Amino acid sequence: MKLKKWITLGAALSFLLAAQPAYAAPVVTAGVNQSVQTPEEAAQEAVQSSGVVAGEAPAGNDNQAAASNQAPTQANAASQAPTAAETAQQSDSANLHQSPTITSGQNQTAAPGTAETNASSAPVSAGEVTGIPEGPGGIKSDPVTPVLPEEKAAQDAAQAADAGQAAAQQAGTVDPSRPMVALTFDDGPQPSVGNRIMDCLAQYGGKATFFMVGDRVGSYKTEVRRMVAEGHEVANHTMNHKYLQKLGAAQIQAQVNQGNDAIQAACGVRPTLLRLPGGNHNATVMANAGMPMIQWNVDTLDWKTRNADKTVAAVLNHVKDGDIILMHELYASTGDAVLRIVPELHKRGFQMVTVSQMAAAKGKTLEAGKLYSSFN
């Protein structure tokens, strides 16, 4: 019996020595942590599987002892050599955790994964937007009604003309080649009327000249400052609205100077023009006023009629280029009339300018001590 076991052991060793080259170059899979067996370890494992330890004499005739020694050896071999299922699991794990190589550019495909991973990593073309309606910026555009070229040209021309005229007057420029008038308002300030006048003029790019009474200005500074801010002309109508032809030289000078002081204190601008109360004057007034004196050539008599229709007719039935139009800021009827006069003047092509603007456009130099009624 012992002889038979030694023969079996010798045959096993001969087989292992003859097969050694096959185990000399084990194959290692990249990315998987696998152990590599040397030929000696493989021989030892084969001997252990036969129940005999190399270099050790047989233990006797007790087959049960040999069997009991073989069982734990096989168990150890099973724990060292992974099964086919474990090998497959390790391979899958290595594939899932291995970093894929990505080439710079569009339409990339990542390393294979699960079905869920593949579904979410489908390649997207450059510039493609998903889940958003088509249109500029990814927003759905509403249909646009086409405008005929001639209609568009007419609209652009009208808008450009209105914008150019309004911008020119807002900037204080006047076109000397076009007709113009100077709307003037006496006896203010009076915010309930003056603000309505300025609101209307602002819609049409017009300017006006406000001849104010000095002793009223302090109570209505906000309105006076608005006049300056919007490009209207602030002017003097004396301090207390006294008829200057009844006063001496010193009193005339006081009425004029105090009126200028009050207006300047309210808005920061000192007037350069004077309107005489009632337009009354004599040699003493002419010698002592010390400012250009602005009269009028279109008298609406709004102070007398207090009727908007009559005020409108007095202007629109007589207006011409270079006119200075007289109205008064105190009356609501005058405010009503202005709301009708200004749009019509604009429609007729008149520029509504200040007295100083019109004088400059007409090439007139305003001199102190002289009267000016129009610039026709």
Whether 328 is a known active-site residue: answer: yes
Q: Residue written as tokens 């005058």?
A: 334
Helix (H, G, I), strand (E, B) or coil at 209: strand
- Report how far apart, in Å, the C-alpha atoms of 16 and of each of 2, 54, 237, 328 are: 22, 12, 131, 130
CA gap 314, 305 in Å, rounded: 11
CA gap 17, 324 in Å, rounded: 131
Query: In the predicted model, what is the mean pLDDT of the chain?
Result: 75
CA gap 85, 103 in Å, rounded: 34
Q: At what angle do helices 2-18 and 39-50 cross, to 10 degrees?
A: 150
pLDDT at 64 over 60: no
Six token digits for residue 360: 């400059």
Lowest mean pLDDT among 50-64, 196-210, 226-240: 50-64
Q: Please tell me what DSSP assigns to residue 245.
A: G
Buried b vs exposed e over 323-346: b needs ≥16 C-beta within 10 Å? Answer: bbbbbbbbbebbbbbbebbbeebb
Q: Mean pLDDT throughout 329-342?
A: 98
- Please report the DSSP string for 292-322 in residue order: -EE--SEE--HHHH--HHHHHHHHHTT--TT
Lowest mean pLDDT among 74-78, 284-288, 307-311, 330-334: 74-78
Dump pLDDT digits (tens) for 108-131: 444 444 444 343 444 444 433 344
- Please report the DSSP string for 221-233 in residue order: HHHHHHHHHTTPE
Residue from 187, 328, 336, 346 carrying the catalytic annotation = 328
CA gap 293, 370 in Å, rounded: 6
Q: Which fold has domain 171-372?
A: TIM Barrel (3.20.20)
Residue 372 CB neighbours (<10 A): 19
Q: Mean pLDDT throughout 216-222?
A: 98
Domain with CATH 3.20.20.370 in the chain: 171-372
Lowest mean pLDDT among 45-59, 168-182, 196-210, 226-240: 45-59
Helix (H, G, I), strand (E, B) or coil at 198: helix
Residue from 97, 186, 237, 261 carrying the catalytic annotation = 186
Partners of residue 182 on adjacent β-strands: 324, 353
Query: What predicted TM-score, i.e. pTM, was given to this entire model?
Result: 0.57
Lowest mean pLDDT among 62-76, 233-247, 273-287: 62-76
Whether 302 is a known active-site residue: answer: no
